[in-house]
Amino acid sequence: MSVDFAKTPKLELHLHLEGAAPPAFIRALAKRKGVDLSGIFDEQGAYKYTGFVDFLRVYEAACTVLTTPQDFHDLTLAVLEQSAAHGVIYSEAFLSPDFCGGGDLSAWRDYLAAIQTAGATAEAQMGITLRGCITCIRHFGPEQARRVAACAQETAGDFITGFGIAGDENAGELADFIYSFDAAREAGLGLTAHAGEWRGPDELRAALKHLRVSRIGHGVRAIEDPALVEDLAERGTVLEVCPGSNIALGVYRSLRDHPVERLRAAGVALTVSTDDPPFFHTDMSAEYAGLHRSFGWDQPEFDTLAQTALRAAFCDAVTRDTLAKRLEAA
């Protein structure tokens, strides 16, 4: 059947707010502030990097011009506008206090208020609901993660609903972050962790054992271990799969090589997201179109994606019910 991918309602659970910053937005901000970021853009004005570690460098360089709550207010509106244009009705954004005042709680409150105000405006004007998942940065170390977890504890509520870890998967061990995840769990936050993108199946096991998460960001290398795939399916652990990201960074050569269809066929609960869309030249419509072309996914599969994301979303019952009604109406 024919699908209008831009109009298909979608819930996105794996989106980094800073990583979704349009290059033009960052370039304009840098120009206004007199900061030379020319080295992180190519001749067409897109982000330029070589490999995952360099991607992290460029990502963090782009963040250096995001220095005020107003910057993050404007960024949030720009990101949500693009998401809404591709049918996203609910977005959970990874928010990093490290980039919002350096993890200082007082500064974080100001940045959070600006992000939340922009989210409310976007919901009223664009019909997209935003919730925040506070995220520590793995390669910044476990001590800094404790500061981020304190920010999460103090601002947990209807808007800040989740906690996770991102960054360089090859830095340290997930067991080093048990304290931070225990603190977030005590605050009632949903838990997720980036794992199984660059390291293999044992990294997913570490996320399940030490951090006790209900969702795993990426998690695609679980496919290398049939026993783990079976365990994930039995547990109902939800994978936040980002095919375009994995291909752009070289985890897999092409979408046809990507294990998303094999994971789905094995009964693993999964969702699809863009991760850092302008870095990977993707959007939610492109992700759906690629799955349609490569694996024949159509409306039934996309409906399942939406329902899985709805069940896995870190949001309150009222929000979930509202989203369910919107999906039903569509």
Per residue in 229-285, pLDDT (tens digit) is 999 999 999 999 999 999 999 999 999 999 999 999 999 999 999 999 999 999 999
Question: Is 55 part of a structural domain of the chain?
Answer: no
Residue 307 CB-density burial (10 A; 0-12 exposed, 13-18 middle, 19+ buried): middle
Q: pLDDT for 58-72, tens place per residue?
A: 999 999 999 999 999
Amino acid at 23: P
Q: What is the 3-state secondary structure (H, E, C) of 145-206?
A: HHHHHHHHHHHECCCEEEEEEECCCCCCCHHHHHHHHHHHHHCCCEEEEEECCCCCHHHHHH
Phi, psi of 240 (to 5 degrees): -90, 90
What CATH code is carried by the domain that includes residue 150? 3.20.20.140
Query: Which residues have a Cβ under 8 Å from the Cβ of 217 and sit 6 or more positions away?
Result: 14, 164, 166, 192, 193, 194, 195, 197, 240, 242
Integer Cα distance of 189 and 62 in angstroms: 29
Question: Is 5 part of a structural domain of the chain?
Answer: no
Domain carrying residue 155? 10-21+66-325
Q: How many domains does the chain have?
A: 1
CB count, 10 Å around CB of 51? 10
Question: Is 321 part of a structural domain of the chain?
Answer: yes
Q: Tell me, what's the pLDDT at 3?
A: 63
Residue 270 DSSP label? E
* Catalytic residue selected from 12, 197, 203, 287: 197
Integer Cα distance of 17 and 153 in angstroms: 20
Integer Cα distance of 150 and 158 in angstroms: 17
Question: Is 153 part of a structural domain of the chain?
Answer: yes
Question: Is 114 part of a structural domain of the chain?
Answer: yes
Q: Tell me, what's the pLDDT at 2?
A: 56
**197 tagged catalytic:** yes
Q: What is the pTM of this model?
A: 0.96
Question: Is 35 part of a structural domain of the chain?
Answer: no
| Residues forming beta bridges with residue 41, ordered by sequence position | 47
CB count, 10 Å around CB of 127? 12
Regions of the chain with pLDDT less than 50: 1
CA 45 from chain centre, in angstroms, equals 24
Amino acid at 249: L
Task: Identify the sign of the CA torsion 143, 137, 129, 189.
Answer: negative
Query: Which residues have a Cβ under 8 Å from the Cβ of 260 and sit 6 or more positions away?
Result: 220, 241, 243, 270, 272, 291, 295
Tokens of 300: 């039934």
CB count, 10 Å around CB of 115? 24
Q: Tell me, what's the pLDDT at 4?
A: 77
Integer Cα distance of 89 and 79 in angstroms: 13
| Residues forming beta bridges with residue 159, ordered by sequence position | none
Question: Is 272 part of a structural domain of the chain?
Answer: yes
Q: Tell me, what's the pLDDT at 330?
A: 85
The secondary structure of 108-138 as a DSSP string is: HHHHHHHHHHHHHHHHHHH--EEEEEEEEEG
Integer Cα distance of 156 and 112 in angstroms: 11
Query: Which residues have a Cβ under 8 Å from the Cβ of 321 and sit 6 or more positions away?
Result: none
Question: Is 32 part of a structural domain of the chain?
Answer: no
